[in-house]
């Protein structure tokens, strides 16, 4: 990985997949700062997949990139 990408990853808040569902039956990503309801998958690049999510703390819609693991696999 390029140094800039490594720095970005090190500074990124780690997200964890939870099996719990919101009232709308959507899966939730949890981080130390907020939980995110997954709305849909909006794209895919070389390094991972991009999900459209809603921050359940402030209701803002955000894009969350899920980075592939060493085997090129992604949770979604």
Ligand X SMILES: Nc1ncnc2c1ncn2[C@@H]1O[C@H](COP(=O)(O)OP(=O)(O)OP(=O)(O)O)[C@@H](O)[C@H]1O
| Look-up of token digits 């980075």 | 67
Size of the site for ligand X (CB under 6 A): 10
**Cα 8 from Cα 28, distance rounded (Å):** 23
**Among residues 30, 31, 34, 65, which is the contact residue for ligand X, using CB under 6 A?**
65
Q: Is 65 annotated as a binding residue?
A: yes
Strand order from edge to edge, sheet including 61-67: 16-21, 27-30, 35-44, 48-55, 61-67
Letters for 22-61 (x = contact with ligand X by CB under 6 A, - = none) are --------------------xxxxxxx-x-----------
Q: How far is the CB of 13 from ligand X (least distance, A)?
A: 16
Footprint on this chain of ligand X (rule: CB under 6 A): 42-48, 50, 63, 65
């Amino acid at each position: 990985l390029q140094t800039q990408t490594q720095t970005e990853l090190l500074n990124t808040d780690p997200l964890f997949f939870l099996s719990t569902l919101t009232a709308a039956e959507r899966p939730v990503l949890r981080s130390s700062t907020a939980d995110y309801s997954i709305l849909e998958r909006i794209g895919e690049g070389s390094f991972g997949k991009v999900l459209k999510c809603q921050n359940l703390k402030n209701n803002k819609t955000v894009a969350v990139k899920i980075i592939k693991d060493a085997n090129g696999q992604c949770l979604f």
